[in-house]
Amino acid sequence: MPPVPALGRLLAIIIGCALAFQLYLFFSSNSSSNDYRPEDLDPAPGSSDPASSRWDDPGRNRHPTVPLTLKDFSTLDSLADTIVRAEAYRVFEDKSAKKIHGSAIRGDAALVQKVRDQIRCWTTYGSWQRQDQEFTPLKHLGDSRFAKCDKTFIKALDREGNGHYLGEFDHTHDRFLVREAVKYRWVPDEAKCGPGPGTMGLQDERAVYDPFTKPKFCEIMEERSFLVVGDVTQYQIHDVIASAFKSSFVCYGELGCLHHSSHGLCPNVALKYARNDLLSVPWAVNPEDEEFPSASTVEQAWATPDMLLKYKILVLNRGLIWRPDEVFMSELVFTMKHLWKYYPDTMVIYRATHPVSANCSQFKNHGEDEAVANKKGESDTEGIILQKPLQTAPKRQEAAGGEKQEFRPTLADIQRQNRIAKAIVEAAGGIYLDTENMFALRPDGRMGDGDCARFCAPGPLDAYSDLLYNTLRLLRDKPVTTV
């Protein structure tokens, strides 16, 4: 064997050193990353999970984390947008650009875009406005755990000893006795979203944002039933719909609804919830290939013929179960392709994931639910300052001092993956409800005690009754013409 030239030996040494350095960086990055725990939605900064498993164990939702600047986030956003657009076109080929599945809107790409713009305007241009007069809040009929804020408020009323009860109007002090978080109602900006020239989306009477009523909602449902699918945050959407229709509850707990009878909403219209954290279809996990469900996620089978032939309106959300962007995208594409191909008459409404409020537990510690507010929205309880909805949503922040992002998903992850979901769902002929910013304005009204992803009921999530009604009103199966 001829001797290796000196130049060749030098190149081999350089390449070998470079590979060794890359491997060192790769494994050192992974060995120091921590798990995101869905059950710990408000983790203490700097805490870690002592039961960490292997870095490549998909069941633990691990992913290497590195400190990113705002410029890095912007670059990652642009890259994700480019990849998802290419993937959505590759899979769905713009075949759904001229129609929305499950509606009579088909054959008109301009109308499809106007309808989507109208719905997006309702959710992104508006404000939370306080109702300072007596009104009828949505009565919560669902899971009792979401009524914990009202229970605290009732104790505050009892301490006052004035003989008043929850929901009454106290004429002596000119105040309505409900929690302050319940008094705010989402109102779209009529100057941008209402009927008239120059507004966004539709410009006729369809652009009016109507309040929900059960008779009107039942009329547009036309004997189509709801199936709500997603994680524990999506379980609350199921609660909101059932409470809005004053339905009797037949299941409690996010794991107990799929195999119980459905909730009756209207004649021949029902509601059911399925807990599936990944929106996986039944055969997304293949035991023959040694693939098994993860212990950290729940994947109840919902995308089955017996379910989807009965439930014609799907309300979906991937929630806060962290997956890297490429995994999130591929799993959602797989699910939407299954629905798009085999159930083209099913309407898919995908809502955005709501950002977690980082300081909701602090609000609870300051007595958010213990204060009785006066007509001006100020606390009548000494020492308690009531929280109000924000005017602008929280912004992304860089990790201080180059610290690593210990928990996923971050605000940037939620925002980026919401955009990924929007591109995929709309390419597949579905509707995307862009409620990210809408609920990022509400750090108040949350459950607290470590759960800053979900809201107490009644509360801000009641806005979904109006939003779903108006969305379905635009998509009802009746002829619609372009304005």
| 412-463 per-position pLDDT tens digit | 999 999 999 999 999 999 999 999 999 999 999 999 888 899 999 999 999 9
Mean pLDDT along residues 224-232: 95
Mean pLDDT along residues 151-173: 81
Residues found in the chain: 483
| Residue 261 to residue 272: CA distance in whole angstroms | 8
Mean pLDDT along residues 171-182: 86
Cα separations in angstroms, 272 against 118, 144, 251, 252, 448 = 28, 18, 10, 12, 27
| Residue 367 to residue 370: CA distance in whole angstroms | 5
Residue % of the chain over a pLDDT of 70: 79
| Residue 106 to residue 481: CA distance in whole angstroms | 10
Give the pLDDT of residue 331. 93
Q: Identity (one letter) of the amino acid at 180?
A: E
Mean pLDDT along residues 6-33: 50
Contacts of 371 (CB under 8 A, 6+ apart): 156, 180, 379, 380, 381, 384, 386
Higher pLDDT, 138 or 164: 138
**Is 291 inside any structural domain?**
yes
| Residue 293 to residue 429: CA distance in whole angstroms | 29
Encoding tokens for residue 358?
């980082």
Q: Which structural domain, as residue segments, surrounds residue 150?
A: 70-400+411-475
**Is 215 inside any structural domain?**
yes
Contact 397, 207 (CB under 8 A): no
Cα separations in angstroms, 430 against 159, 227, 461 = 50, 15, 22
Helix, strand, coil shares, percent, the chain, to 5: 40, 10, 50
| Residue 409 to residue 440: CA distance in whole angstroms | 15
The number of distinct structural domains making up the chain is 1
Rounding to the nearest 10 degrees, give the CA dihedral for residues 309, 311, 312, 318. Answer: -110
- The neighbouring-strand residues paired with 128 are 186
| Residue 468 to residue 349: CA distance in whole angstroms | 9
Mean pLDDT along residues 32-41: 36
Smallest CA-to-CA distance from 210 within 194, 228, 191 is with: 194
**Is 21 inside any structural domain?**
no
Give the pLDDT of residue 202. 92
Contacts 24+ apart (CB under 8 A), 375-384: 375/132, 375/174, 375/175, 376/132, 377/130, 377/132, 377/180, 377/183, 380/173, 380/175, 381/156
b/e burial code for range 383-414 (CB count within 10 A of at least 16 → b): ebebbbbeeeeeeeebeeeeeebbbbbbbbbb
pLDDT above 80: residue 406: no
Smallest CA-to-CA distance from 228 within 218, 215, 241, 246 is with: 241
Q: Is 200 left (phi over 0), alpha (psi -120 to 50) or beta?
A: beta
Highest average pLDDT, of 52-56, 132-136, 271-275, 292-296, comes from 271-275
**Is 37 inside any structural domain?**
no
pLDDT above 80: residue 137: yes
**Is 31 inside any structural domain?**
no
Considering Cα of 184, then 188, then 194, then 197, what sign does the dihedral take? positive
**Is 317 inside any structural domain?**
yes
3-state secondary structure 391-409: CCCCCCCCCHHHCCCCCCC
Contact 398, 70 (CB under 8 A): yes
Considering Cα of 270, then 275, then 277, then 282, what sign does the dihedral take? negative
**Is 159 inside any structural domain?**
yes
Give the pLDDT of residue 384. 81
**Is 49 inside any structural domain?**
no
